[in-house]
Structure 1
Amino acid sequence: MNGQQAAQRIVAIKPIGVPTEGRGIDLQVKVTAPASGRDLPVIVFSHGNAWSMDGYEPLVDRWAAAGFVVVQPTHLDSRRNGIGFDDPRFGTIWRVRIADLHAVLDNLGDILDEAGLRGRVDEGRVAAVGHSWGGQTVGTLLGARVLDADGTPGEDFAHPAVRAGVLIAATGTGDTLTPFAAEHLPFMRPDYSTMTTQALVVTGGEDRSAMSTRGPDWFTDAYHLSPAPKSMLTITEGQHTLGGIAGESVAETTDEDPARVALVADAVSAYLLDVFGLDDTAWKDLDARAATSDGAFLLEHR
């Protein structure tokens, strides 16, 4: 990100309600945007387990400063709602998460109106981005499906408004779930063979999940098993929160590194600016930097 972007003032508006049916708890979103500018692209962001619209400021603020309007829903699994693994509602939350993103996309115009941004946004340039469980959620909007116990793909949740996506530390596939995950998170079996929408996959080379018997390569499945075009950014020493993308000094950050967080944030904005045809400079620069990074991060394309 250049100095001009870093100096861009941003504004945040919350909470904004989004209409849903049968959810039990109102769906609310936070909108973060540049204070100025027009024809702004949109990122709809899906948080990881237990987080909310108030997390991930190190990413969201940087994206807004780079010229994006970011819409963050609070999913039912947010810790503020108190729905744990033993709650009978937990088994279907993965579906509610997907419905949340559909509701945001279907009501995007009204959300922007309430945030006072409708005339400044290009609603034809919409991306979906997610971290961890949010990555799997976003994957379904790009065309991925969820395998049932027999290995049969479930329904298609792809959304036509989403032109591109970014999956950060997203669930892998295969019969490699640990006993705990198999019992409590059986939906963590994505089928990426139908994820046709263009996407960037972001992984950590040291991301070892307690949910899978595989190592860090589990998080590369979205790249290797989905149809092109796809790109993958690997942060060689990155762990699951990739330096602390959910927030500064949060408890689950095991590899705190602000520079690593900035790299992830800027890679996402560079990728989306490129695929939206707005500016390819930063994406080309990141490709060049990867070639000379001494292996600190890798960038692949297919």
Structure 2
Amino acid sequence: MSSRVTAALLAALVTAGLVGCSTDAAPTARPAVPAEPPKVATPSPRVPAGSAPERAFAVGVRELKLNRDGDRPLPVTVWYPAAGKAGGEPERSADAAKGKFPVVMFSHGLGGRPADYDTLLTRWAAAGFVVAAPTFPRTSRGGDGNVLDVLNQPADVSYALTQVLALDGRSGDPLRGRLATDRVAAAGHSAGGVTTIGLFTTGRDERLDAGVVFAGTALGVGTAFAGAAAPQLFVHGQADEVVDYAAGRAAYDKVPWPKAMLSLPKGDHGRALLGDGPALRVVSDTTVEFLRWSLYGDEAAKRRIPTDAARDDIATLDNRL
């Protein structure tokens, strides 16, 4: 994602907030919401205690062809734990591994596609998660670039989640009986981070148990976090040239639930998410342990989060989990 188009997103969302009464009929956007978080929140996560898989899995990948309301095509890439030897590249349409695996919905950034994040999402799948990533109709690479359509994307993710969870009961589907449908998280980068925050605020999806926000901001979706407690992990580079670190921190500060913020002092807008390297290893290991805790209820994983975050002095962790 270029900084130019991402900056356009921020400018457009700011404009939307300032001229919300415009009669321009471009995308449908939800109205602004108060910045104050709800006064009452469930005090602890609702996922019961358990243990995450200790072994790594091979990874399979497949595509779902979805369309919301007949005019919003939403192809979804799904990475999942697969049978066979761990390691190597994801195998197209591989047999699923035995077990019940939590689901993570991932939202790409403006001008991006799910495949851009293959390294990170493959690691999540290898750790025991089914990762489903829609390609959004207007903000993906090749779309018309209508940045305000980001405000419609939380509903896209909720729709795609419904379709993904339905695979668990679909006769003949490779993922039949393989999804822990009661353990679900949302994650996203940049514009996908806006989308993810929206799933816990204006477009609260009560099926979500946790969130991971990479280089995100609450512009356009607000910080009125609602519903049952859903732990949040924010990841943000302090040298982010597109979404100012302070904007991400401001959204994080409004989260009323268990939360942590992984800050990378030398981190930019997120290029480390798009390829392998020391920063990605710290980010991927920390996010894996967070998901193991928040979706499997694995307390040992929670205790490992600070150690993973501190590796090689690449990042610092504000830990309020």
The TM-score bracket by the shorter chain reads 0.7 to 0.9
Tell me the equivalent position of 1:46.
107
Call closer, same or farther: CA 1:115–1:240 in 2, change over 3 Å.
farther
Tell me the equivalent position of 1:61.
122
* Residues 169-224 of structure 1: CA deviation (Å, up to 9, x unaligned): 1015xxxxxxxxxxxxxxx3442142553211111121132x6xxx4222212211
Q: Which amino acid aligns with 1:134?
A: G
* Residues 228-248 of structure 1: CA deviation (Å, up to 9, x unaligned): 2211111222111152x1x33
106, 131, 141: which one aligns with 1:79? 141
Tell me the equivalent position of 2:175.
117
More moved, 226-235 vs 37-46: 226-235
Tell me the equivalent position of 1:28.
75
CA distance in 2, matches of 1:115, 1:125: 20
Tell me the equivalent position of 1:254.
none
* Residues 229-274 of structure 1: CA deviation (Å, up to 9, x unaligned): 211111222111152x1x33xxxxxxxx612112212211211111
CA distance in 2, matches of 1:58, 1:71: 14
Tell me the equivalent position of 1:191.
222
Call closer, same or farther: CA 1:29–1:236 in 2, change over 3 Å.
same
Count of equivalent residues: 251
CA distance in 1, matches of 2:199, 2:111: 21
212, 220, 224: which one aligns with 2:249? 220
Tell me the secondary structure at the aligned position of residue 239 of structure 1.
coil
CA distance in 2, matches of 1:127, 1:289: 20
TM-score under structure 1 normalisation?
Answer: 0.75
Q: Which amino acid aligns with 2:245?
A: P
Q: Does 1:126 align with 2:184?
A: yes
CA distance in 2, matches of 1:296, 1:201: 12
CA distance in 2, matches of 1:45, 1:295: 24
Q: Does 1:233 align with 2:262?
A: yes
Task: Say whether the 8 Å CA contact 2:260–2:319 is kept in structure 1.
Answer: yes
CA distance in 2, matches of 1:297, 1:106: 36
Identity percentage of aligned residues: 30
More moved, 281-290 vs 62-71: 281-290
Tell me the secondary structure at the aligned position of residue 260 of structure 1.
helix
Tell me the secondary structure at the aligned position of residue 98 of structure 1.
helix
CA distance in 2, matches of 1:194, 1:115: 35
Greater RCO between the two (CA within 8 Å, min separation 6)? 2
Structure 1 unpaired stretches of 5+: 85-89, 145-155, 173-187, 249-256
Tell me the secondary structure at the aligned position of residue 80 of structure 1.
coil
Task: Say whether the 8 Å CA contact 1:12–1:33 is kept in structure 2.
Answer: yes
Task: Say whether the 8 Å CA contact 2:239–2:268 is kept in structure 1.
Answer: yes
Give the Å deviation of 1:91: 5.5
Task: Say whether the 8 Å CA contact 1:18–1:111 is kept in structure 2.
Answer: no
Q: Does 1:269 align with 2:305?
A: no
Task: Say whether the 8 Å CA contact 1:234–1:297 is kept in structure 2.
Answer: yes
Q: Does 1:280 align with 2:309?
A: no
Tell me the equivalent position of 1:185.
none
Q: Does 1:167 align with 2:213?
A: yes
Give the Å deviation of 1:285: 1.9
TM-score under structure 2 normalisation?
Answer: 0.71
Task: Say whether the 8 Å CA contact 1:236–1:298 is kept in structure 2.
Answer: no
Give the Å deviation of 1:69: 0.3
Structure 2 unpaired stretches of 5+: 1-52, 83-96
CA distance in 1, matches of 2:173, 2:77: 9
Call closer, same or farther: CA 1:37–1:191 in 2, change over 3 Å.
same
Q: Which amino acid aligns with 2:222?
A: D
Tell me the secondary structure at the aligned position of residue 129 of structure 1.
strand
Call closer, same or farther: CA 1:4–1:220 in 2, change over 3 Å.
same
Task: Say whether the 8 Å CA contact 1:109–1:118 is kept in structure 2.
Answer: no
Q: Which amino acid aligns with 1:50?
A: G
Task: Say whether the 8 Å CA contact 2:102–2:296 is kept in structure 1.
Answer: no
Tell me the secondary structure at the aligned position of residue 142 of structure 2.
helix
CA distance in 2, matches of 1:290, 1:34: 25
